[in-house]
């Protein structure tokens, strides 16, 4: 039995905090940093739901040594002056949200790597936080992402003597402000580049096993994609949904984005717009996998131009949508 951590004596009236959490990313585009990042990420049982006796040898002796160098090169190809795009855009989004929500303390943490959830929560506790709203930057709920954030938050505050009041946003896949922001992003792209022959909405994939076990993720991706297509006035056949970023050998959700691209190329599609509504911030999976790798694949398969539509990042529509969403979840809490 371990003792609970002492809590700071509360002198003021207490503060409300909004904790934004994104996945996490390596500290540098190097083999060592990527290995540390993947090591933490792929030890999460929410992500890889396999017995450790089976998984750890595969992870330590095959995946980490074989994958880290290649993935580090991929990160190097998208790295920005200020760091990894996922962290840079998430940080800018948090800064903008702090301006939009001056009545609460806004902080950003990463599920894997830094800034760590535990460190960020302890700093908030020291600043007098007594109410906490956790907003994972995943519009669609999955046990592998949203629930993993919840685990990490509870693991930390579970050791505190004085718990904050706690609220958690499980998903926002049909939130009207978020759909407004996505719709505007796509219409802006069409205004600039013209409308592509098709719009592909590509979401990060999951092992099919997760869906069978009741993970609502694929249904939320489909419902959000349908809602977005309806707002854009797209008829059946003018838009498609695909799942990208497959990892490992077991069956993943389909249709796969890369196979869909090959089919579209075969049909003679020359201009294809691709949007990734599951990614709040641009990252390896959008900038490298879609905008670089899949664009090359589409061209090589006989298709034309793949035009990637940037994630919502720190754009004003995203900030307004998440600020309104946070305000709704904060209702009833007195901010001091
Ligand atoms: C091992 C299985 C994986 C599951 C399940 C998974 C679910 C999942 N991931 C995201 C969002 C992101 N994933 C990113 C990178 C990434 N994902 C996996 C594996 C699984 N993801 C790996 C191994 C990696 C690292 C890159 C690689 O080795 O290929 C990223 C990008 C991070 C960055 O630094 O840019 C995001 C974002 C979601 C939303 C999701 C479930 C719905
Ligand atoms: Fe291990
Ligand atoms: Fe992933």
- What's the number of domains the chain is made of? 2
In this predicted structure, the answer to whether residue 1 has a pLDDT above a threshold of 70 is no
Ligand closest in space to the Cα of 43: 2
Query: Quick one: average pLDDT of 178-186?
Result: 98
258 in a domain, yes or no? yes
- Residue 200 CA: distances (Å) to CA of 88, 253, 256: 26, 16, 11
Could you tell me the CATH number of the domain that includes residue 206? 3.40.50.1400
The answer to whether the beta carbons of residues 269 and 233 sit under 8 Å apart is: no
Task: Mark whether 274 and 131 lie in a shared domain.
Answer: no
Task: Mark whether 153 and 207 lie in a shared domain.
Answer: no
167 - beta bridge partners? 133
Is the shortest distance between the CB of 285 and ligand 1 below 6 Å?
A: yes
Is the shortest distance between the CB of 279 and ligand 1 below 6 Å?
A: yes
pLDDT > 70 in the chain, percent:
99
Task: Mark whether 127 and 56 lie in a shared domain.
Answer: yes
Task: Mark whether 160 and 276 lie in a shared domain.
Answer: no
Q: Which atom of ligand 1 is nearest to the CA of 22?
A: 37
> How does DSSP classify residue 254?
S
Q: Which domain holds residue 196?
A: 179-309
124 in a domain, yes or no? yes
CA of 281 to the centre of ligand 2 (A): 29
In this predicted structure, the answer to whether residue 8 has a pLDDT above a threshold of 90 is no
Task: Mark whether 256 and 323 lie in a shared domain.
Answer: no
243-263: per-residue pLDDT in tens? 999 999 999 999 999 999 999
Task: Mark whether 157 and 195 lie in a shared domain.
Answer: no
Is the shortest distance between the CB of 25 and ligand 1 below 6 Å?
A: yes
Is the shortest distance between the CB of 274 and ligand 1 below 6 Å?
A: no
Is the shortest distance between the CB of 109 and ligand 1 below 6 Å?
A: no
67 in a domain, yes or no? yes
Task: Mark whether 161 and 276 lie in a shared domain.
Answer: no
Task: Mark whether 119 and 248 lie in a shared domain.
Answer: no
Task: Mark whether 186 and 251 lie in a shared domain.
Answer: yes
Say whether 285 counts as a known binding-site residue.
Answer: yes
β-sheet with 165-168: strand ranges across: 105-112, 15-24, 129-136, 165-168
pTM of structure: 0.97
Say whether 127 counts as a known binding-site residue.
Answer: no
> Which residue has the CA at smallest separation from atom 9 of ligand 1?
204
Task: Mark whether 159 and 36 lie in a shared domain.
Answer: yes
The answer to whether the beta carbons of residues 192 and 247 sit under 8 Å apart is: no
Is the shortest distance between the CB of 145 and ligand 1 below 6 Å?
A: yes
222 in a domain, yes or no? yes
Ligand closest in space to the Cα of 140: 1
Q: Dihedrals φ, ψ of 218, to 5°?
A: -60, -35
135-175: per-residue pLDDT in tens? 999 999 999 999 999 999 999 999 999 999 999 999 999 99
8 in a domain, yes or no? no
4 in a domain, yes or no? no
Q: Dihedrals φ, ψ of 21, to 5°?
A: -130, 130
Q: What is the ipTM of this complex?
A: 0.98
Task: Mark whether 32 and 119 lie in a shared domain.
Answer: yes
70 in a domain, yes or no? yes
CA of 82 to the centre of ligand 1 (A): 21
192-231: per-residue pLDDT in tens? 999 999 999 999 999 999 999 999 999 999 999 999 999 9
3 in a domain, yes or no? no
β-sheet with 239-244: strand ranges across: 239-244, 198-204, 271-275, 305-309
CA of 101 to the centre of ligand 1 (A): 30
With H, G, I as helix, E, B as strand and everything else as coil, classify residue 135: strand
Q: Which residues, in sequence order, are CB contacts of 142 under 8 Å at separation 6+?
A: 206, 210, 215, 216, 217
CA distance 162 to 152: 17
Ligand closest in space to the Cα of 248: 1
Task: Mark whether 150 and 81 lie in a shared domain.
Answer: yes
Is the shortest distance between the CB of 144 and ligand 1 below 6 Å?
A: yes
Q: Which residues, in sequence order, are CB contacts of 224 under 8 Å at separation 6+?
A: 139, 140, 173, 174, 179, 277
């Amino acid at each position: 039995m371990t003792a609970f951590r002492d809590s700071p004596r509360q002198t003021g009236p207490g503060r409300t905090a909004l904790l934004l959490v994104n996945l996490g990313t390596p500290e540098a585009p190097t083999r060592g940093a990527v290995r540390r990042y993947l090591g933490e990420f792929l030890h999460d049982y929410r992500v890889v739901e396999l017995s450790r006796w089976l998984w750890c040898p595969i992870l330590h002796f095959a995946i980490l040594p074989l994958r880290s160098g290649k993935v580090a090169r991929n990160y190097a190809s998208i790295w920005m002056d200020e760091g990894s795009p996922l962290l840079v855009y998430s940080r800018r989004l948090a800064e903008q949200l702090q301006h939009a929500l001056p009545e609460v303390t806004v902080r950003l943490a990463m599920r894997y790597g830094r800034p760590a959830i535990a460190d960020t929560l302890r700093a908030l506790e020291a600043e007098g936080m007594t109410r906490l709203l956790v907003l994972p930057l995943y519009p669609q709920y999955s046990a592998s992402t949203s629930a993993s954030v919840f685990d990490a938050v509870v693991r930390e505050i579970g050791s505190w003597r004085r718990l904050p009041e706690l609220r958690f946003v499980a998903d926002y896949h049909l939130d009207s402000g978020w759909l407004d922001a996505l719709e505007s992003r796509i219409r802006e792209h069409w205004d600039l580049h013209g409308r592509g022959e098709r719009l592909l909405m590509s979401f990060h994939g999951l092992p099919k096993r997760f869906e069978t076990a009741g993970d609502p993720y694929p249904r939320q991706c489909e419902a959000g994609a349908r809602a977005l297509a309806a707002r854009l006035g797209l008829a059946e056949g003018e838009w498609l949904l695909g799942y990208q970023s497959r990892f490992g050998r077991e069956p993943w959700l389909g249709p796969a984005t890369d196979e869909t691209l090959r089919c579209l190329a075969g049909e003679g599609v020359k201009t294809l717009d691709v949007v990734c509504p599951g990614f709040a911030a641009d990252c390896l999976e959008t900038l490298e996998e879609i905008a670089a790798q899949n664009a090359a694949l589409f061209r090589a398969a006989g298709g034309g131009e793949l035009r990637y539509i940037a994630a919502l990042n720190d754009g004003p529509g995203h900030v307004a949508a998440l600020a309104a969403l946070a305000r709704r979840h904060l209702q009833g809490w007195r901010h001091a």
